[in-house]
Amino acid sequence: MRVKTTAVALAVIAALALAGCSASTSPAGPASSGGKIRVVASTDVYGDIAKQIGGSRVTVDSIISDPSQDPHSYEADAQVQLALSKAQIVIENGGGYDSFVDTLLKGANNTGVTLLSVATISGHDLNPTTGEFNEHLWFDFPTVTKLADQLAATFTKLDASGAATFSANAKKFDAAIAVLTTDEAALKAAHGGEGAAITEAVPLYLLDAAGLVDKTPVKFSRAIEQGTDVPPLVLQQTLTLFTDHTVKLLAYNEQTSSPETTQVLAAAKAAGIPVVAVRETLPAGKDYVQWMTDVLASLKSALK
**pLDDT, tens only, 95-128:** 999 988 998 898 888 989 999 999 999 999 999 9
| Burial bucket for residue 153 (CB in 10 Å: 0-12, 13-18, 19+) | middle
Cα end-to-end span (Å), the chain: 32
Q: 222 and 173: one domain?
A: no
How many helices and strands, by DSSP H and E, does the chain display?
Answer: 13, 10
Q: Quick: pLDDT tens for 195-238.
A: 999 999 999 999 999 999 999 999 999 999 999 999 999 999 99
Residue 15 belongs to a domain? yes
- pLDDT above 50 for 14: no
Q: 130 and 266: one domain?
A: no
- pLDDT above 80 for 63: yes
Q: Quick: pLDDT tens for 228-280.
A: 999 999 999 999 999 999 999 999 999 989 999 999 999 999 999 999 999 99
Specify the number of domains making up the chain: 2
Q: Quick: pLDDT tens for 145-191.
A: 999 999 999 999 999 999 999 999 999 999 999 999 999 999 999 99
Answering whether pTM is above 0.85, one says yes
Residue 274 belongs to a domain? yes
DSSP letter string, 256-287 = ---HHHHHHHHHHHHTT--EEEE-SSPPTT--
Query: In terms of residue numbers, what domain contains 96?
Result: 4-179
Cβ neighbours for 1, distance < 8 A, ≥ 6 positions apart: 71, 72, 97, 98, 135, 225, 280
Residue 186 belongs to a domain? no
Return d(Cα 155, Cα 39) in angstroms, integer.
10
What's the pLDDT score for residue 76? Answer: 72
Decide which of 127, 144, 179 is a domain's last residue: 179
What's the pLDDT score for residue 251? Answer: 98
Q: 58 and 156: one domain?
A: yes
Q: 152 and 199: one domain?
A: no
Return d(Cα 229, Cα 235) in angstroms, integer.
10
Q: 102 and 161: one domain?
A: yes
- pLDDT above 70 for 10: no
Decide which of 153, 179, 205 is a domain's last residue: 179
What's the pLDDT score for residue 32? Answer: 34
Decide which of 120, 155, 179 is a domain's last residue: 179
The residue that leads in pLDDT, 239 or 3, is 239
Do 29 and 158 meet the contact criterion of CB atoms below 8 Å apart? yes
Mean pLDDT of 26-54: 79
What's the pLDDT score for residue 125? Answer: 96
Do 39 and 60 meet the contact criterion of CB atoms below 8 Å apart? yes
What's the pLDDT score for residue 131? Answer: 85
Mean pLDDT of 281-289: 96
Q: 167 and 81: one domain?
A: yes
Residue 187 belongs to a domain? no
Residue 72 belongs to a domain? yes
The residue that leads in pLDDT, 83 or 14, is 83
What's the pLDDT score for residue 67? Answer: 72
Residue 56 pairs in a beta bridge with none
Return d(Cα 92, Cα 42) in angstroms, integer.
5
Q: How confident is the model at residue 31 (pLDDT cuts 50, 70, 90)?
A: very low
What's the pLDDT score for residue 73? Answer: 64
- pLDDT above 60 for 27: no
Report strand pairing: 4-5 vs 89-92: unpaired
Residue 184 belongs to a domain? no
Q: 130 and 90: one domain?
A: yes
Q: 35 and 147: one domain?
A: yes
When the pLDDT of each residue in the chain is averaged and rounded to a whole number, the result is 89
Do 207 and 251 meet the contact criterion of CB atoms below 8 Å apart? yes
Do 282 and 300 meet the contact criterion of CB atoms below 8 Å apart? no
Q: 231 and 163: one domain?
A: no
Query: In CATH, what number is assigned to the domain containing residue 77?
Result: 3.40.50.1980
DSSP 189: H
